[in-house]
């Protein structure tokens, strides 16, 4: 007959099932540490009462194991589930944080690129507008100056043509002088505003 007070020579198999049913089965198995301890304790009690060979001994030991197995298995399974959930949640949070950091870096880089491009466009636009404004100002001044010169030339022309005291030679000489003055003024405007006046 087997000595029930002596622990088995081979160690209990390792266990770690996450689901309650498998865990209860492992805990209640004949070679489990809990079952061995329950048998040992039951054997001590039954031996002290002189009932070591009684069927009550085996039943009491098995009943004690089963009463303890379900809560233990439930607790272990819950702990394993919580650990798994915590690991998944941590991995999910870390993954989201990594993705968020990557997205933020990408957005920042795009924003920097956009702002750099906008700044360059803005500077180019301002320079162009200033250039246009300067040219527009030049054109306005040149146009005003030319208008005044043409008015003066027309006035001089009419005065020369309407003067009855001038003979043909004098009139021609004065008209030539007025035209020469007008040409010099046009040349001055061309040089001053770097333009070419073609009439």
Q: State the burial class of residue 29 (Cβ atoms within 10 Å of its Cβ: 0-12, 13-18, 19+).
A: middle
C-alpha 129/C-alpha 114 separation (Å) is 22
Asked if the model's pLDDT at residue 19 lies above 70, the reply is: no
Average pLDDT, the chain: 70
Q: Encode pLDDT of 48-99 as tens digits.
A: 666 655 566 566 666 666 666 667 666 766 777 777 777 777 777 777 788 7
Q: What is the structure's pLDDT at 17?
A: 45
Q: How confident is the model at residue 180 (pLDDT cuts 50, 70, 90)?
A: very high
Question: For residue 176, what pLDDT is reported?
Answer: 92
- Rounded Cα gap, residues 72 and 139, in angstroms: 97
Locate all alpha helices (DSSP H) within the chain, ordered by sequence: 20-28, 33-48, 55-162, 168-193
Q: Residue 8 carries which DSSP code? A: P
Largest interatomic CA distance in the chain = 168
Residue pLDDT, tens place only, 87-140? 777 777 777 788 778 777 876 887 687 677 666 766 765 665 565 455 667 767
Using CA atoms, how far residue 168 sits from 20, 28, 58, 174, in Å, is 131, 142, 155, 10
Q: How far, in Å, are 16, 39, 72, 148 from residue 81 at the CA level?
A: 12, 30, 14, 97
Dist. CA 146–CA 195, nearest whole Å: 12
d(C-alpha 197, C-alpha 199), whole Å: 6
Instruction: Please count the other Cβ atoms lying within 10 Å of the Cβ belonging to residue 26.
Output: 21
Tell me if 160 sits within 8 A of 175, measured CB to CB: yes
- What's the whole-model pTM score? 0.33
User: Where in the chain are the domains?
Assistant: 124-193
Tokens 């007025």, residue located? 178
């Amino acid at each position: 007959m087997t000595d029930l007070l002596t622990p088995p020579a081979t160690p209990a198999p390792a266990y770690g099932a996450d689901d309650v049913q498998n865990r209860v089965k492992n805990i209640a198995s004949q070679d489990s540490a809990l079952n061995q301890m329950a048998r040992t304790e039951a054997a001590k009690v039954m031996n002290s009462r002189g009932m070591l060979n009684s069927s009550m001994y085996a039943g009491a030991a098995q009943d004690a194991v089963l009463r303890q197995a379900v809560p233990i298995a439930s607790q272990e399974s819950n702990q394993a589930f919580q650990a798994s959930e915590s690991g998944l949640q941590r991995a999910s949070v870390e993954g989201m944080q990594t993705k968020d950091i990557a997205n933020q870096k990408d957005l920042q880089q795009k924003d920097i690129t956009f702002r750099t491009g906008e700044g360059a466009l803005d500077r180019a636009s301002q320079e162009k507008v200033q250039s246009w404004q300067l040219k527009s100002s030049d054109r306005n001044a040149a146009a005003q100056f030319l208008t005044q010169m043409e008015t003066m030339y027309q006035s001089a022309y009419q005065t020369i043509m309407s003067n009855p005291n001038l003979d043909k030679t004098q009139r021609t000489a004065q008209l030539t002088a007025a035209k020469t003055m007008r040409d010099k003024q046009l040349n001055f405007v061309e040089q001053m505003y770097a333009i070419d006046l073609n009439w």
